[in-house]
Homo-oligomer: A and B are copies of this chain.
């Protein structure tokens, strides 16, 4: 298996290198293949072959839909962005101050214009991703203000840590896109942080990237840097999605100024948006999971309808981040049974509306221990069960999103690889050679299957090969140091980062990016009054 996988992974690297016409990346790839830190699965876009888990009957879907439409018609959503209010007014919606009420016929007419699938092409076209259909794609943790590792404990984020996490994002083939900053580098002033991090991101990765919608200057800067990194003309940039933004509503029932502004800027230039309400049941949303989902749907559709009015057919994803709080403390909880069901219900609603779905990996645990894994595993598998198309925060998240952890990143990649392997049709193939009556006859009741031709022909690809799990017996494991998973993961991420070589990037493009960053810094960057 590993041999084939390395070849496939190399192909992606080689394509990038050939296209860019620079040897460094290719040589780097060759070295990595030879001495590779781990044997990982190849880059590919996994197809979710399972029928989704659907806890709602048809009447349940219609009840949530009707509830969401009543929220939009009777209660309305606050839009603080003046341009949005003008647009809603022009569309015939009822605007009272910042409150916007919209009829269900108009909302559904707009939502139907959104595509159910679309493609984003980053600077390396071999890393193109299609969001929708049966694809399930995974991205790195985004936006924690803090960092944790087993040597240093919890620390505020820095540019160095952010770069290390970007290297992991690039290294792992099972990570398909680079979400927001994997940790907030608070050692960079907020006015220029987006310039330095996007520079690092576009140099250290060749995967799809994201812009925070935190004011027009940041959004415009990131679009320009993505255009430069791709070596694209303005027209080429706008022809097809090259990047995306993800916004949250300010639940309950509010969209703020910069988030909507950023989305409008992106869609007008043909880029993609994800709208993800953060509806914690019992806090910013009803304590009932169906109620929290209803509110989330209303908040998301209000923005998506606006974007379809402005640019019919623009690529939009509906996001879910419905979870519950701990009713004793008010602390947010993640990966709970309620979270899983809310994700599944939202999946049913996304299919009802014909929109691609975003969900998340998440956990409230403070360290990468057992709790971290049962919560993250519940979250990631509920993404599978819900038919989710892109999974945000899929690797590296701790403490409810307040901590990014590189060891947790590697542990999560083991889970994600298992999910991807789970979808390999070979596992459930039932052709005559799979049923293997002849091999069973050959071995009979006295032998074993290790040495049979049927086994020998298949053993190298038959089973998932872990990158971190230790399957040795206790004694062998103990003799080798008796390290627990989090310790092994710590050693592994450090080796990956130490061995890392960035993907190919033309020297001329690298210079353009550096020049752009320098110029914008000299102009003062972006305002910090957001």
Chain B residues lying within 8 Å of A474, measured Cβ to Cβ, are 146, 148, 154, 366, 399, 402-403
Q: Residue A369 contacts which of B340, B370, B433, B440 (CB distance < 8 angstroms)?
A: B370
A345-359 to B contact mask, C-beta < 8 Å, 1/0: 100000000000000
The reply to whether the CB of A368 lies closer than 8 angstroms to some CB of chain B is yes
The reply to whether the CB of A373 lies closer than 8 angstroms to some CB of chain B is yes
| Stretch from A206-214, A322-330, A491-499, A516-524 contacting the other chain | A322-330
The reply to whether the CB of A530 lies closer than 8 angstroms to some CB of chain B is no
**What band does the interface of chain A fall in when counting residues whose beta carbon is under 8 Å from B?**
35 or more
The reply to whether the CB of A60 lies closer than 8 angstroms to some CB of chain B is yes
The reply to whether the CB of A274 lies closer than 8 angstroms to some CB of chain B is no
Given contacts A288-B458, A366-B470, A445-B252, contact A374 B371 (CB under 8 A): no
Chain B residues lying within 8 Å of A332, measured Cβ to Cβ, are 471
The reply to whether the CB of A245 lies closer than 8 angstroms to some CB of chain B is no
Chain B residues lying within 8 Å of A71, measured Cβ to Cβ, are 437, 440-441
Chain B residues lying within 8 Å of A333, measured Cβ to Cβ, are 463, 469, 471
Alpha-carbon distance between A405 and B414 when the two chains are bound, in angstroms: 24
Number of chain copies forming the complex: 2
The reply to whether the CB of A53 lies closer than 8 angstroms to some CB of chain B is yes
Report the minimum CB–CB distance from A395 to chain B (whole Å).
Answer: 13
| Stretch from A113-121, A129-137, A278-286, A507-515 contacting the other chain | A278-286
| Contact present for A331 and B282 (CB under 8 Å) | no
| Contact present for A329 and B434 (CB under 8 Å) | no
Q: Residue A290 contacts which of B286, B328, B364, B429 (CB distance < 8 angstroms)?
A: B429
| Contact present for A371 and B470 (CB under 8 Å) | yes
Alpha-carbon distance between A274 and B217 when the two chains are bound, in angstroms: 67
| Contact present for A462 and B369 (CB under 8 Å) | no
| Stretch from A218-226, A235-243, A448-456 contacting the other chain | A448-456
Given contacts A403-B474, A430-B64, contact A324 B291 (CB under 8 A): no
| Contact present for A290 and B327 (CB under 8 Å) | no
Report the minimum CB–CB distance from A179 to chain B (whole Å).
Answer: 22
| Contact present for B366 and A377 (CB under 8 Å) | no
Q: Residue A341 contacts which of B411, B422, B486 (CB distance < 8 angstroms)?
A: B422
Q: Residue A345 contacts which of B281, B286, B375, B428 (CB distance < 8 angstroms)?
A: B428
The reply to whether the CB of A310 lies closer than 8 angstroms to some CB of chain B is no
Chain B residues lying within 8 Å of A473, measured Cβ to Cβ, are 331, 366, 399-400, 402
| Contact present for A282 and B377 (CB under 8 Å) | no
Q: Residue A49 contacts which of B55, B78, B436, B468 (CB distance < 8 angstroms)?
A: B55
Q: Residue A430 contacts which of B60, B324, B377 (CB distance < 8 angstroms)?
A: B60
| Contact present for A367 and B484 (CB under 8 Å) | yes
Chain B residues lying within 8 Å of A373, measured Cβ to Cβ, are 370, 373-374, 377
| Contact present for A471 and B430 (CB under 8 Å) | no
The reply to whether the CB of A63 lies closer than 8 angstroms to some CB of chain B is yes
The reply to whether the CB of A200 lies closer than 8 angstroms to some CB of chain B is no
Chain B's closest residue to A75 (CB) is B441
The reply to whether the CB of A336 lies closer than 8 angstroms to some CB of chain B is yes
| Contact present for A439 and B327 (CB under 8 Å) | no
Alpha-carbon distance between A443 and B282 when the two chains are bound, in angstroms: 11
Q: Residue A434 contacts which of B148, B288, B370, B459 (CB distance < 8 angstroms)?
A: B288
> What are 18 A-B contacts with C-beta separation under 8 Å?
A59-B430, A60-B430, A75-B437, A75-B440, A252-B445, A282-B455, A285-B449, A290-B430, A294-B436, A338-B462, A344-B428, A369-B484, A371-B470, A373-B373, A373-B374, A374-B411, A374-B469, A377-B377
List 7 additional A-B contacts (Cβ < 8 Å) besides A51-B53, A377-B378.
A50-B53, A55-B427, A285-B449, A286-B436, A287-B459, A291-B436, A375-B469
The 8 A-B pairs with the shortest beta carbon distances in the complex, nearest first, are: A291-B436, A370-B485, A67-B435, A286-B436, A337-B422, A55-B428, A373-B373, A60-B430
